[in-house]
Amino acid sequence: MPQDIATKHVRFSGRLLIVGFGSIGQGVLPLLLRHIDMPKENISILTADERGNKVAAKLGVREEILPLTQENYREVLTARLGKGDFLLNLSVEVSSVALIQLCRELGVLYLDTCVEPWAGGYTDLSLSPSQRSNYALRESALALQTDDTAPTAVVAHGANPGLVSHFVKQALLNLAAVTGLDTDMPADRAGWAKLAQTLGVKVIHIAERDTQVANRPKAVGEFVNTWSIDGFVGEGCQPAELGWGTHEKALPPDGATHEFGSGAAIYLNRPGASTRVRTWTPNEGPFHGFLITHNEAISIADYFTLIENGAAAYRPTVHYAYHPCDDAVLSVHELAGKNWEMQERQRLMEDEIVSGIDELGVLLMGHAKGAYWYGSQLSIEQARALCPYNNATSLQVTAAVLAGVIWAMENPRRGVVEADGIDHARVLEITTPYLGTMAGAYSDWTPLVKRGELFAEDVDAADPWQFKNFRVV
Q: What is the CATH number of the domain that holds 98?
A: 3.40.50.720
**Total domains in the fold of the chain:** 2
pLDDT digits (tens, 9 = 90+) for 13-25: 999 999 999 999 9
Domain ends where: 110, 133, 155? 155
Average pLDDT over residues 89-118: 97
Domain assignment of residue 452, yes or no? yes
pLDDT category at 473 given cuts 50, 70, 90 is low
d(CA 348, CA 242): 28
DSSP letter assigned to residue 160? T
What per-residue confidence (pLDDT) applies to 1? 44
Domain assignment of residue 109, yes or no? yes
Domain assignment of residue 168, yes or no? yes
Domain assignment of residue 408, yes or no? no
Give CA torsion, residues 408, 409, 411, 412, to 10 deg: 90
Based on the fold, state whether residues 99 and 193 are members of the same structural domain.
no
Of the listed ranges 307-311, 371-375, 415-419, the least confidently predicted one is 307-311
Based on the fold, state whether residues 302 and 230 are members of the same structural domain.
yes
Domain assignment of residue 423, yes or no? no
CATH code of residue 220: 3.30.360.30
What per-residue confidence (pLDDT) applies to 76? 98
d(CA 26, CA 196): 37
Domain ends where: 130, 155, 180? 155
65 phi/psi in degrees, rounded to 5: -90, 105
| Cα-Cα-Cα-Cα dihedral sign, residues 322, 327, 332, 333 | positive
- 3-class SS at 249? coil
Based on the fold, state whether residues 262 and 310 are members of the same structural domain.
yes
Least Cα distance to 84 among 157, 13, 6, 171 occurs for 13
Based on the fold, state whether residues 21 and 83 are members of the same structural domain.
yes
Domain assignment of residue 465, yes or no? yes
Domain assignment of residue 401, yes or no? no
Based on the fold, state whether residues 124 and 208 are members of the same structural domain.
no
pLDDT category at 153 given cuts 50, 70, 90 is very high
Based on the fold, state whether residues 334 and 357 are members of the same structural domain.
yes
- 3-class SS at 153? strand
d(CA 44, CA 17): 5
d(CA 85, CA 405): 12
Based on the fold, state whether residues 188 and 127 are members of the same structural domain.
no
Based on the fold, state whether residues 220 and 236 are members of the same structural domain.
yes
**Residue 366 carries which side chain, given as an amino acid letter?**
G
Average pLDDT over residues 7-18: 97
Based on the fold, state whether residues 362 and 297 are members of the same structural domain.
yes
Least Cα distance to 375 among 174, 211, 94 occurs for 174
Based on the fold, state whether residues 143 and 167 are members of the same structural domain.
no
Could you list the residue range(s) of the whole structural domain that residue 123 is in?
Answer: 3-155
Percent of the chain predicted with pLDDT > 90: 92
SS3 of the chain: helix, strand, coil, percent, to 5:
35, 25, 40
pLDDT digits (tens, 9 = 90+) for 236-273: 999 999 999 999 999 998 999 999 999 999 999 999 99
Domain ends where: 107, 131, 155? 155
- 85, 307, 316, 335, 360 from 197: Cα distances, Å: 41, 12, 8, 40, 24
Domain assignment of residue 60, yes or no? yes
- 250, 389, 463, 467, 468 from 459: Cα distances, Å: 13, 45, 9, 10, 7
Average pLDDT over residues 24-47: 98
CA diameter of the chain: 65
- 49, 221, 381 from 390: Cα distances, Å: 19, 25, 10
The terminus-to-terminus CA distance of the chain in angstroms comes to 48
Based on the fold, state whether residues 86 and 126 are members of the same structural domain.
yes
Of the listed ranges 119-133, 160-174, 218-232, 371-385, the least confidently predicted one is 119-133
Based on the fold, state whether residues 130 and 167 are members of the same structural domain.
no
Mean pLDDT of the chain: 96
pLDDT digits (tens, 9 = 90+) for 425-471: 999 999 999 999 999 999 999 999 988 888 988 888 889 999 989 87
d(CA 403, CA 32): 10
